[in-house]
Structure 1
Amino acid sequence: MNSTLETANEHLSANEPSWLAERRAAGLDRFKNLAMPTARDEAWRFASVGKLSIDNFNPVAAPASTTLDALTERSELVTTRAGRSVYVDDAPANFEGVSPELLAQGVVYLPLAEAIEQHPELLKKYFLKESTELGSEKFFGLHAATVKAGSLLYVPKGVEIAEPFVNYYWTSATRSAVFPHTLIIAEDNSKVSVVDLFFSETDANEALNISVSNIHAGANAHVFRKIVQDWNEKTVSFQLDTTVAERDAQVQNVAVNIGAERARFESQTRIEGPGADVKMYSLTVAEETQEFDQRTYQTHNAPNAVSDLLYKNALLNNARSIFSGLIKVAEGAQQTDAYQTNRNLLLDPTAEANALPGLEILANDVRCSHGATTGNVDEAELFYMMQRGISRRVAMQLMVFGFFEEIIEKIDNDELAENLRQLIHKKFESKIK
């Protein structure tokens, strides 16, 4: 951990504004002074914190130009887009800005470093203002102190953009530490879609990821974000996301989690305006000794709003998952409609799923529910398909893909949805026996 600290601010600009320097200093102070999580911490219940280490990971110098070019060429899961950024070990490899038409409408899509220089008031209002409350405050502090890679997407009032903005974050160097950041600001009556993708160059390069995403959806804004996490299985990953939804905003998050040795995903949703509707979907595939730790917080501070969460996990071998979610309804948030569901499919008897859904209701006119289910593959269904000439391996694959299709079909981009099916198939094809 100390070696990570030694280089935490090494590559940052000395010309950053004072407000950002203050936020970085506060983050570094938080990282230094907060203790590492332990098994006694409720926010880390069931997690293998004894195996969690961020020692000896460091930000690295810019990769070779040949690496930047090669990974840019591999960043093509979504070919029709409104803009694209590619980062390798937090170094910019490629940035496709917005079209002249969108630029004329006031749309801003910039690398963070340029956004800080060109739009300081916008960044001061939103950047690094929303921390996590779900247990990884220490790691958010390191992110705040170090972040330099990522993008700002600002969509003015009334602007609707059909094609998605796509951000790729790669790791390449050995023992690299990366701190990606996606900031989405959608003003009133706007519409936008964003895809964030996280990949490793090879199966061998060890890495630490502490990424942050913030969505601010104004009144009647429509925001759709897709997340694809496919790090290699030598990566430790923290993904700390927040969503703030104002009156009548519609926000949808779909996360597909495939990679990493240990991955923790903290998702906070705060509804601040009546009529808001926030959907949260997640699909996770874990194998071998992978561990996926999912913590969610749905906060309703306004009446007549909806939130709906569905997380599905499929676990092979000795893989583990933890789901801990809380729906909190404030005293004045009457007629809240909130749901939280976690479903786990165990493909081996040694796989393990832990679920802790919860409610905290301070209003008396609400409709809220939560639930969790964990089950094995239905042997009767397997037998039925095998009797019709389908091998056990293929039959199990078909059942698993049927289990996941409810999530994949939420994705509004056919090209991305099909590419995700292929990524999941690639992971399963050598593991299901």
Structure 2
Amino acid sequence: MSASAPAPAPVTKSPSRIPRIPFWAQIVAGLVVGVLLGWLARSQDIGWLQETLAQVGGIFVQLLKLAVAPLVFFAILVSITNLRKVNNAARLAAQTLVWFMITSLIAVAIGLAIGLLTNPGSGTGLTPKDGKLPENKGSWIDFLTGIVPTDVITPFTELNVLQIVFMAAVAGIAALKLGDKAQPILTLSESVLELLQKALWWVIRLAPIGTAGLIGKAIVNYGWDLLGKYATFTADVYIGCALVLFGVYPLLLATVAKLNPVQFYKGAWPAIQLAFVSRSSVGTMPVTQRVTERLGVPKEYASFSVPFGATTKMDGCAAIYPALAAIFIAQIFDVQLGVKEYLLIAFVSVIGSAATAGLTGATVMLTLTLSTLGLPLEGVGLLMAIDPILDMMRTATNVAGQALVPVIVSAREKILDVAAYESASGSPVDERDDEREVAVPAAA
């Protein structure tokens, strides 16, 4: 009797694999949808759509702000204590601060040059009576006295980031001095920070939806007509930021760090685009730190430099913008600025940038600049209507600089992982999803 033939193995269909939509593409789609819905809601006066866009955008921003206070505190505390794991920690910290100042000086110089060339306040039709006093003012006395909190609760409830940074820095230095006795607190702080970052990642995944709401709300509220009176000033801010973002930064990477600038933008782009949408350096901080590490910066150093930069490094909000705004407001109020005033603008931009502290908007920094120059604070009111449109580009520039400086310092100190830098790419929304594709069952 012949042996029976073996039964054929069952045929199984391999699943079709659909590539994940890149995070940048999701953001772009959110921008396009937001523009279309905002235009529709405004042109057709659709009340429920206007309200929906406002609520969607507001909820997204509120979710980001919800984590800001504890995130800043534990990020700064942990970053300071992590310096003990880094060789030449003091030298790295000093180099970081120096490059923060150098890039800020370059940025403010570009802002002043553009303002002097274009005269953004001339021919706008705006007059001093159009201005109004800001609700929040900044002066050097307010800045200096506002660093130290009166209690440990109010800075968190009122979201005073500068005071939170102060308390976190004191706690971090004290933990370093205590040594092993502080280890239980440090372990808890690291766990809380990871928890906060994980929760914030979930919020960041909602960014495309938040983008549609925020852009749609801006178009509903301001339309396109508003840009007419502020056309030159708006163009100046965007051009100034673009020159720093795509001119100065690549030049520094190529000449100082001897690195390929294109690769930097491939790695840092997810943080830059999220900053553009969220208008918050602190809210973008987890993404900024992730892309900085992917660009080859050692984790221990990145965990110090990125939180430090997110609260003090503001080339867009604290350098380009106040320089242009001071010239704009001086021309509206017919006040002559001289060399002394321009030097004061540069000084305020470098020293006072911590006044912005990674918050959405730069009103405090602007009032600090105006009060130093003796310009009318009513000028701030002239810029409030256009501020959300300007703040997107400013914040994107801020965040790019916050990722750039650690890369430059690491390259100069020979601690940069060049292989990681040259291969950095992909979306950082979830580290497990970088190269993964989504598998779905094949059709029968």
TM-score by length of 2: 0.22
Structure with the bigger percentage of strand: 1
Whichever of the two has the greater Rg, that structure is 2
Higher relative contact order (CA 8 A, sep 6+): 2
Structure with the bigger percentage of helix: 2
TM-score by length of 1: 0.22
